[in-house]
Structure 1
Amino acid sequence: MASKATLLLLFNILFFSLVTSNHVPCPPPPKTPTPTPSHGHKHHPSKGKCPKDTLKLGVCADLLNDLVHLVVGTPPKTPCCTLIEGLADLEAAVCLCTAIKANVLGINLNVPVSLSLLLNYCGKKVPSGFQCP
């Protein structure tokens, strides 16, 4: 009986030493990158100006026409949505708003509805409280 207890004690000590010796510490928290100096000029990407050429947004006319009128199938996203793809929601809204108001699209439309249709179709959202400038 004593040999069984000794054997059990040895296995327990062996087991606990193996478990504690394989302890892997938690990784250190990631370092936050240090900001680079701005050399005096600050970049404000969305202060009411469109970073894209508004005339290029004329390609959105076909997409908007297909969205407004019932067209069988899904309209292609490529020329229009790829133009506003890398923009923030506010920048995309300003760009499309400028194009709609300048009538680059060539059709008279309800501006808020047209803007909402195009932005939603391209995976963007109309910023809350946004009105075309």
Structure 2
Amino acid sequence: MASRAHATSALLVAINLLFFSLVSANHKACPPPPPPPCPPSPKPATCPKDTLKLGVCANVLEYLLKIKIGTPPKTPCCSLIEGLVDLEAAVCLCTAIKANVLGIKLDIPLSLSLLLNYCGKKVPEGFKCA
């Protein structure tokens, strides 16, 4: 009887080994998740506005530079750069000043800073009008 019990145990062990090897053979590991996409590289800032239109800012600069009594009108100049972030506004005004669209000889950093501040913007840190 002992040999029969021993044979039955051996058969059960063999069946269990076969069962577990089949189950583990069919198990496939999950593939690793895909890497996150790379963020797009920043493109150089450009002026989304027509630079020639910024010639209306000359009046504002004349008021600010000559310290005239009263305040210059904000509407024509500031409304052109109103929807732009500080960097875009700085690029637009820098382009206009360098192209002499404003029609007056200017100190670029001072003029740029005056115009941006007057229109509620600021010169981005490290920005150079080059």
TM-score, with structure 1 as normaliser = 0.65
Consecutive unaligned residues of structure 2, counting only runs of 5 or more, are 1-38
Shift of residue 77 of structure 1?
0.4
Structure having the larger proportion of residues in helix: 2
Assess if the C-alpha contact under 8 Å between 1:46 and 1:91 holds in 2.
Answer: no
Look up the match of 2:49: 52
Cα distance, 1:72–1:43 mapped onto 2, change above 3 Å:
farther
Give a deviation string over 1:28-85, Cα, whole Å, max 9, x none: xxxxxxxxxxxxxx99897231000000000000111111002111111010000000
Greater gyration radius: 2
1:1-133 pair list within 5 angstroms: 47-133=44-130
Q: Hey, which bits of structure 1, 4+ residues long, moved more than 6 A?
A: 42-46
Assess if the C-alpha contact under 8 Å between 1:61 and 1:106 holds in 2.
Answer: yes
Cα distance, 1:68–1:119 mapped onto 2, change above 3 Å:
same
Consecutive unaligned residues of structure 1, counting only runs of 5 or more, are 1-41
Identical aligned residues as a percent: 73
Amino acid at match of 2:117: N
Give a deviation string over 1:105-129, Cα, whole Å, max 9, x none: 0111110000000000000010001
The CA distance in 1 between the partners of 2:88 and 2:118, in whole Å, is 16
Structure 2 counterpart SS, 1:86: coil
RMSD: 1.9
